[in-house]
Structure 1
Amino acid sequence: MARTKKAKADDKKPAAKRVGRPHGYTEEKALEICELVADGQSVNKISKMPGMPTRSTILKWFRDVPEFSDMYMRAKEIGFEVLADEILDIADDAKNVDKDQLRRHQLMIETRKWLLAKLQPRKYGERVTQEIVGNKEEAPVQVEVNQTTVLEIIDNLNKEYNTHGDCDDKD
């Protein structure tokens, strides 16, 4: 069956473009955002700054643009180090003489410590250790094996196996 001119023209149309506003990703803006993240700024604060994309746009870039995702993750790791440095700076602050300010600084330190422990548990989390306590006679498990013991076990298994008649005798 012959195709119409319109059908042939439709075949030559380019693929449909995605509908919606473009996300406006630029490498310069991505670098600027990652520098702020590495400096310890949150995405919420960054998105409220003039000239910065919204929080949802930044999260879309994180999801859709692999280069940005990699840069952001490296920046976030640096940001954790900055957060740890802030803990030391707050603790070493010589102005902590007022009771209210002292409590505020303690809260700031505890909040940062908690956040680091939750987001980077291997590096900043509580160390959990297990210790077996007791003397040698009361040890939970004590195993001493030598070659003679192993050979005796094998002999006993062979004898038991042979007495049940499960073994094919091939003489």
Structure 2
Amino acid sequence: MVASIFTQVLFDKICDQLADGKSLREICEKKGMPNRKTFHVWCKNSQELKAQYDEACLDREDAIFDDILYIGDTAKDSKLGKLAMDAKQWTLARMNRKKYGNHITEEMVGANGGPIQIERVRLNMAPVEELPE
């Protein structure tokens, strides 16, 4: 029987495992856990639960980042280690593009971070008769 009755203890347990780097799929497939849809319904029905889930997801990013460093330092098989690191890096970049994505953003701003000021300047120049060679 799949647990589908909400308890704060169960919700906390799920969030703790998320914060430790586990996926929601992996957690919800365990005996005694609700299915993912039930978990998401709980989050949608309560701002407090949604905030707790969001915080656990942010903590999961840190756990995944830590896993990448650990794999890089301890992998016995370099090919398998690189594969695991690349998969985690790809996932992390999609979870938080701004923090972990491989992109460059350029912004143009005016003085003191304000809007760019555009000025039109008309130059009055005397005509050049002939340019030296």
TM-score range normalised by the length of the shorter chain: 0.7 to 0.9
Deviations 1:49-75, CA, capped at 9 Å, x for gaps: 121111211111121122211101000
Deviations 1:109-156, CA, capped at 9 Å, x for gaps: 0111111111101111124155xxxxxxxxxxxx796xxx8xxxxxxx
Distance 1:95 1:117 in 2: 25
8 Å contact kept, 2:14–2:27: yes
8 Å contact kept, 2:75–2:81: no
Question: 1:43 aligns to what?
Answer: 24
Distance 1:62 1:94 in 2: 37
Instruction: Name stretches of at least 5 consecutive residues in structure 1 with no aligned partner.
Output: 1-22, 97-101, 131-142, 150-171
Please tell me whether Structure 1 or Structure 2 has the larger radius of gyration of its CA atoms.
1
Per the normalisation by structure 1, the TM-score is 0.57
Distance 1:36 1:95 in 2: 26
Per the normalisation by structure 2, the TM-score is 0.72
Question: 1:126 aligns to what?
Answer: 102
| Cα gap change, 1:118 to 1:94, in 2 (>3 Å) | closer
4+ residue runs of structure 1 moved beyond 4 angstroms? none
Q: CA RMSD in A?
A: 2.3
SS of the aligned residue for 1:56 comes to helix
Q: Which amino acid aligns with 2:35?
A: T
* Equivalenced residues, count: 109
| Cα gap change, 1:42 to 1:94, in 2 (>3 Å) | closer
Question: 2:41 aligns to what?
Answer: 60
Instruction: Name stretches of at least 5 consecutive residues in structure 2 with no aligned partner.
Output: 107-118, 123-133
- 2:73 is the alignment partner of 1:114: no
Question: 1:84 aligns to what?
Answer: 65
Q: Which amino acid aligns with 2:22?
A: Q
Deviations 1:50-107, CA, capped at 9 Å, x for gaps: 21111211111121122211101000000000000000000001523xxxxx222111
SS of the aligned residue for 1:62 comes to helix
Distance 2:18 2:74 in 1: 24
